[in-house]
Amino acid sequence: GWHDVVVDSGSGRLVDVHSAADRPPRIEICSASDGTTLHVLHDGATDPRIASVGPPDRIAPELVVLPSRDGVPLQAALFRPEGRGPWPVIVSCYGGPHVQRVADFWDLTMQLRAQYLRSLGFLVLVLDNRGSARRGTEFEGAIHRDMGNVEVRDQEDGVRWLVDRGLADPARVGIYGWSYGGYLSAMCLARAPDTFACACAGAPVSHWDGYDTHYSERYMGSPAENPEGYRVSSVMAHVPSLRGPLLLVHGMLDENVHFRHTARLVNALNRAGKTYEIQLYPDERHLPRNRADRISMEERIRDFFVKSLADEPGTS
């Protein structure tokens, strides 16, 4: 399982939030000296509301470790649908610094879009590529001055691992993500078009020269000292290789990844003669909050993958 702990050294107590992929969070106040439970604030295992969250056939995903092409162990989770493979696959990615998505915790099980897509017959893969958090400096630092490269290779290797085991239909693989995950989704479609048949890129960073300098320059250096790194790490540099369906989703009031990123990418797509789909939310910020907009977005993403990964062209 997984423990999130906050310690109050003054009182000699701590708050421990403990969960696992098959166990909802339990929140306890404990003694900081010996860990003895002093009071249970909440126990998700006895909360009747938990059963109503997500689709009725919600599962705890399967945790696996698979090798990259150069032998680095990668942690992944499988939301496996009913029946026998190979299945169409949708990769759910983030892939950037400071985030770990795969671990034995309840947050993984509560990826409700993954659960829903699984209920529709897709195998959903979640993989922490190099650049992700909590695997050490070397693992996270693999993206230094070269974003959008090793992350793509690692996501490809996750798909190939599924194909080699008869779990994935190699002709029907899609990918989606938001923010850094939107960037990585677009980069996977453009840099690995033989692996990824389609992508949904939500609020994607399209070029690191247009994102927060305190973030971009921490990993990429400055554009002046690393011009080639910035060029090859931009989605626009790889647009000519893009050939599968692409859905862009963005809130036009996004205060984090400004809408300008999608606008620049659209300009590059238009100039290259590439087709794409786009879903815009004029009143939304970095993540849609309005209920109607959320429903609209989820339905659009669902329909995009059902159409793009159909068993036969023109079917769903």
What are the pLDDT digits (tens) for 269-296? 999 999 999 999 999 999 999 999 999 9
pLDDT at 315 over 70: no
CB atoms within 10 A of CB 12: 10
Token representation of residue 133: 């958090």
Task: Give which of 231, 249, 66 is closest to 145, Cα–Cα.
Answer: 231
Using alpha carbons, select from 295, 157, 146, 266 the residue that is nearest to residue 201. 266
Across the range 33-55, mean pLDDT stands at: 92
Interval 241-248 mean pLDDT: 96
Rg (CA), the chain: 20
Beta bridge partners of 22: none
Provide the pLDDT for residue 311: 73
Catalytic residue status for 206: no
Residues whose CB falls within 8 Å of the CB of residue 181, separated by 6 or more in sequence, listed in order: 92, 93, 94, 95, 96, 202
Q: What is the pLDDT of residue 312?
A: 55
What's the mean pLDDT in 104-132? 96
Q: Are 194 and 110 in contact (CB under 8 A)?
A: no
pLDDT beyond 90 at 234: yes
Q: Which position among 254, 258, 261, 308 bears the catalytic label?
A: 254
- Whole-structure pTM value: 0.94
Question: What's the whole-number mean pLDDT along residues 99-128?
Answer: 96
CA separation for the pair 135, 303 (Å, rounded): 35
Q: Hey, what amino acid is at 85?
A: G
Residue 136, pLDDT score: 94
The tokens for 129 are 């590529």
Above 80 in pLDDT, residue 94? yes
Q: Which residues 6+ apart lie within 8 Å of 167 measured at CB?
A: 78, 80, 85, 86, 87, 89, 123
pLDDT of residue 51: 86
Residue 85 pLDDT level (bands cut at 50, 70, 90):
confident
8 catalytic residue (yes or no): no
Say whether 286 is catalytic. yes
What does each C-alpha distance from 22 to 34, 94, 122 come to in angstroms? Answer: 26, 22, 21
Per-residue pLDDT reduced to its tens digit, 74-83: 999 999 999 9
| Res. 59: pLDDT tops 70 | yes
Catalytic hit among 19, 92, 179, 185: 179
pLDDT tens across 1-42, in order?
Answer: 999 999 998 999 999 999 999 999 999 999 999 999 999 999
Which of 221, 279, 285, 281 minimizes the C-alpha distance to 253?
285
Over residues 245-263, the mean pLDDT reads: 97
* Neighbouring C-alpha atoms within 13 Å toward the C-beta of 46: 6
Q: State the chain's mean pLDDT as an integer.
A: 95
For residues 148 and 184, give the distance between their C-alpha atoms in angstroms, rounded to a whole number.
6
Model confidence at 313, pLDDT cuts 50, 70, 90, reads: very low
Q: State the pLDDT confidence band at 89, using cuts at 50, 70 and 90.
A: very high
At 118 the pLDDT is 97
Q: What is the pLDDT of residues 140-187, one digit of tens each?
A: 999 999 999 999 999 999 999 999 999 999 999 999 999 999 999 999
User: 1-10, 53-62, 110-119, 246-255: lowest mean pLDDT where?
Assistant: 53-62
**pLDDT score recorded for residue 53:** 87
